[in-house]
């Protein structure tokens, strides 16, 4: 049964990443536009973002334990749920249709030290929302974690997600149904920089095909590793690109395999092609200051939605935003 589930899960991932690839019109390289869909007051921090099947965005807040829904078509936003047992939210991933897993922890913007022993993964059912009330399905504590951060779905059929611990430099496999978890990946490419106290290592992570792609925040690397069905490594850990720009955060990957990486302490996004060619884009767009994560929409336009912290990590304080970027190559 596990083998069948694993094969079906791989097929699910393949078709999910390849869906509608041939329906996208050719883009004009000079037509990239950036617009603000929604913003929160200065001092807010939008940490991560996912997209629902209906096209609406789910945004986690780091400064408060709030999950928001943002409608990119109407530029309206609503508070979906407050996780009162925690202080902040981090990574988010869809496990099954309209059921999302979220990293939670007692994060404090005033105290940079990781809140050891407070991190975990919750799942919330948004089926029918807003007509029906969201239902928290599980709240799994992972007390060994130093700084749980990025999150991605490994096997939706078995309810398995992968969660990166930025301070330990490891990846946990978490069963959101049973609550069981274990370390499945650990490598120097995921570890923090040894010369920097409390520096984060592995940050964003995404599965595409048989590979887990991930960033290292302070080593400024974009990496990948081939996975077995249980999330363990099936091949070498590869460094695809090394950068020199401010802190790497989470990222999105287009249907053509192009990665767009957020910069917590800077402007713009790093664009990396499947061939390893990298460039900085939108550096001159002030609204991109302190970008933290990105996700592509589900329509044929392949709009990239980016969330920002308003530059708080760099000591600045603009509005935290949800940006829509169209016309990317």
The CATH number given to whatever domain includes residue 57 is 2.120.10.30
Output the pLDDT for position 27: 39
Output the pLDDT for position 300: 73
Task: Measure the CA–CA gap between 131 and 21, rounded to whole angstroms.
Answer: 32
Instruction: Say if 24 falls within a structural domain.
Output: no
Instruction: Say if 297 falls within a structural domain.
Output: yes
- Is residue 173 a contact partner of residue 159, using CB atoms and an 8 Å limit? no
Alpha-helical segments (H) within the chain: 2-18
Residues 6+ apart with CB under 8 A from 194: none
Output the pLDDT for position 245: 78
Output the pLDDT for position 121: 98
Instruction: Say if 223 falls within a structural domain.
Output: yes
Sheet arrangement for strand 181-186: 148-155, 160-165, 170-175, 181-186
Output the pLDDT for position 236: 98
Output the pLDDT for position 284: 87
Task: Measure the CA–CA gap between 52 and 92, rounded to whole angstroms.
Answer: 11
Give how far Cα 52 sits from Cα of 56, 69, 296, Å: 5, 9, 11
Instruction: Say if 26 falls within a structural domain.
Output: no
Domain assignment of residue 132, given as a range: 2-19+31-326
Give how far Cα 231 sits from Cα of 25, 174, 209, 235, Å: 35, 10, 13, 12
On the question of a cis peptide bond just before residue 130, with omega within 30 degrees of 0, the verdict is: yes
- Helix, strand, coil share (%) of the chain residues, nearest 5: 10, 45, 45
Output the pLDDT for position 6: 65
Give the model confidence (pLDDT) of 238-287 as tens digits. Answer: 999 999 877 899 999 999 999 999 999 999 999 999 999 999 999 989 99
Output the pLDDT for position 317: 82
**Number of domains making up the chain:** 1
Residues in the chain with pLDDT values less than 50: 1, 3, 11-12, 14-29
Task: Measure the CA–CA gap between 189 and 176, rounded to whole angstroms.
Answer: 26
Instruction: Say if 93 falls within a structural domain.
Output: yes
Instruction: Say if 101 falls within a structural domain.
Output: yes
Give the model confidence (pLDDT) of 239-249 as tens digits. Answer: 999 998 778 99
- Is residue 317 a contact partner of residue 40, using CB atoms and an 8 Å limit? no
């Amino acid at each position: 049964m596990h083998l069948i589930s694993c094969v079906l899960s791989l097929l699910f991932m393949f078709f999910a990443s390849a869906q509608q690839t041939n329906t996208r019109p050719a883009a004009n390289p000079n037509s990239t536009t950036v617009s603000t869909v929604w913003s929160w007051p200065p001092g807010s921090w939008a940490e991560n973002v996912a997209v629902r099947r209906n096209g609406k965005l789910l945004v986690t807040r780091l400064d408060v334990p709030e999950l928001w829904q943002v409608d990119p078509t109407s530029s309206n936003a609503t508070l979906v749920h407050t996780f009162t047992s925690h202080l902040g939210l981090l990574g988010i991933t869809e496990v099954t249709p309209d059921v999302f897993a979220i990293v939670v922890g007692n994060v404090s913007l005033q105290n940079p030290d990781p809140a050891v022993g407070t991190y975990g993964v919750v799942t919330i059912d948004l089926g029918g929302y807003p007509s029906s009330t969201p239902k928290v399905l599980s709240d799994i504590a992972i007390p060994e974690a130093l700084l749980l951060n990025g999150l991605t779905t490994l096997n939706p059929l078995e309810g398995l997600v992968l969660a990166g611990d930025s301070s330990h430099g490891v990846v946990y496999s978490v069963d959101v149904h049973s609550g069981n978890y274990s370390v499945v990946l650990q490598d120097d490419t995921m570890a923090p920089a040894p010369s920097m106290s409390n520096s984060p290592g592995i940050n964003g992570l995404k599965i595409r095909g048989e590979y887990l792609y991930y960033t290292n925040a302070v080593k400024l690397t974009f990496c990948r590793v081939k996975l077995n069905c249980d999330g363990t490594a099936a091949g070498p850990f590869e460094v695809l690109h090394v950068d020199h720009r401010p802190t790497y955060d989470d990222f999105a990957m287009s249907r053509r395999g192009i990665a767009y990486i957020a910069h917590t302490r800077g402007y713009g996004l790093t664009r990396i092609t499947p061939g390893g060619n990298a460039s900085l884009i939108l550096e001159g767009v002030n609204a991109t200051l302190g970008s933290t994560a990105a996700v592509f929409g589900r329509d044929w336009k392949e709009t990239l939605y980016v969330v920002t912290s308003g530059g708080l990590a760099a000591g600045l304080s603009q509005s935290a935003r949800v940006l829509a970027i169209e016309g990317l190559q």
